[in-house]
Amino acid sequence: MRLILAALLLTAAAPALAYPVTVQSCNRSVTFDAPPAAAISNDVNLTEMMLALGLTDRMIGYTGISGWKTLDETLRAGVEELPELSARYPSREVLIGAGADFYFAGWNYGMRVGGEVTPETLAPYGIAVYELTESCIHIMQKDKASMEDMYADILNLGTIFGVSDRAQALVEGWRAELAEYLAGLTPLATPPRVFVYDSGEDAPFTAGRYAMPTALIEAAGGTNIMDDFEKSWAEIGWETVIARDPEVIVIVNYGDVTAEQKIAFMRNNPAFADIDAVQKNRFVVLQYVEATPGPRNIAAVRTLAEAFRAQ
């Protein structure tokens, strides 16, 4: 967060890039003849990327937050002058009616494959779309999730909006901060087996190979027990969790069911009594905005690394 504030307080803005500029967005090359002036972001983590780059003056609103999540003080202060145009996923009419020229979203982060809001359906209305890198797995093959996914989004947004120096400073700062922190940690004898519990009682919704928590867990020294699950975020069966016997359970906190309730559900269910993490009460909570790609991923790695080394 210190690095974000430092970037926002830069007194001398870097010279704007020469336009047009082209960035890679999933399987598309997207060209911008000028920086967007009427941008809309979807979801809390994507909106924080825009805030980290100091782009609120280029935004006309945001979508997809209050329908599921609560704004914390940091985000609330950053978007207090901007309207939430839709509590959940916006319709095409909402984006067009707002006069947007840019939509920062992702697949299952404001857009659905085959839905009414996609890069193709918005293009005729002059609305360019940049897709969250983590979400590209829904429409193409990609490597497993890594910290590079988040860094790529920041750098591409920097290019799109003509603030590449600011974006580069943020990414270099995060890389250095994380490397310094990890270098000072006590090495683990073996990587702990980690399960990510997002939601669901009949069947858990969890993070697979292509979801950001896999990258966070690995950076912190652990292994996601669903690393071989060829999905990003998806449901699995509880029998898989029981069989793979996680040593640490990461709770993603958001929505109507609290982290405490999710922990209580696992601790009080006899079916989970033999899971190592349940027996030893090794639960660690990440807020949704920490577990999804965005500026708070660095703090999330710290939280996980400390939990993995706690007795």
* pLDDT, mean of residues 37-60: 96
In 254-301, beta strands by DSSP E: 283-287
Nearest in space to 148 (alpha carbons), one of 166, 175, 130: 175
Per residue in 255-280, pLDDT (tens digit) is: 999 999 999 999 999 999 999 999 99
* Whether residue 209 has pLDDT greater than 60: yes
Helix ranges (H only) for 24-128 are 44-52, 73-78, 92-97, 119-122
pTM, full prediction: 0.92
Class of domain 193-309 (CATH, top level): alpha beta
Nearest in space to 233 (alpha carbons), one of 138, 103, 119: 138
Domains 2-176 and 193-309 share a fold: yes
Per residue in 282-307, pLDDT (tens digit) is: 999 999 999 999 999 999 999 999 99
Hey, what CATH topology would domain 2-176 get?
Rossmann fold (3.40.50)
* Whether residue 1 has pLDDT greater than 80: no
Instruction: State the pLDDT at residue 78.
Output: 86
What the block records as the tokens of 266 is: 């696992």
Nearest in space to 78 (alpha carbons), one of 105, 55, 109: 55
Query: Rounded to 10 degrees, what is the CA torsion of 12, 18, 24, 25?
Result: 70
Instruction: State the pLDDT at residue 311.
Output: 63
* Whether residue 14 has pLDDT greater than 80: no
Distance between CA atoms of 95 and 157, rounded to whole angstroms?
19
**In contact, 21 and 32? CB cutoff 8 Å:** yes
Name 134's Cβ contacts closer than 8 Å, sequence gap at least 6. 106, 145, 149, 150, 210, 211, 212, 232, 292, 293
Distance between CA atoms of 226 and 235, rounded to whole angstroms?
11
Query: In percent, how much of the chain has pLDDT > 90?
Result: 90
Instruction: State the pLDDT at residue 72.
Output: 81
* pLDDT, mean of residues 151-158: 98
Domains of the chain: which residue ranges?
2-176, 193-309
Query: In percent, how much of the chain has pLDDT > 70?
Result: 94
**In contact, 78 and 59? CB cutoff 8 Å:** no
* Whether residue 71 has pLDDT greater than 70: yes
* Whether residue 73 has pLDDT greater than 90: no
Question: For the chain, how many residues are written?
Answer: 311
Instruction: State the pLDDT at residue 70.
Output: 81
Q: What's the first-to-final CA gap in the chain, in angstroms?
A: 28
Q: How confident is the model at residue 74 (pLDDT cuts 50, 70, 90)?
A: confident
* pLDDT, mean of residues 148-154: 98
* Whether residue 69 has pLDDT greater than 80: yes
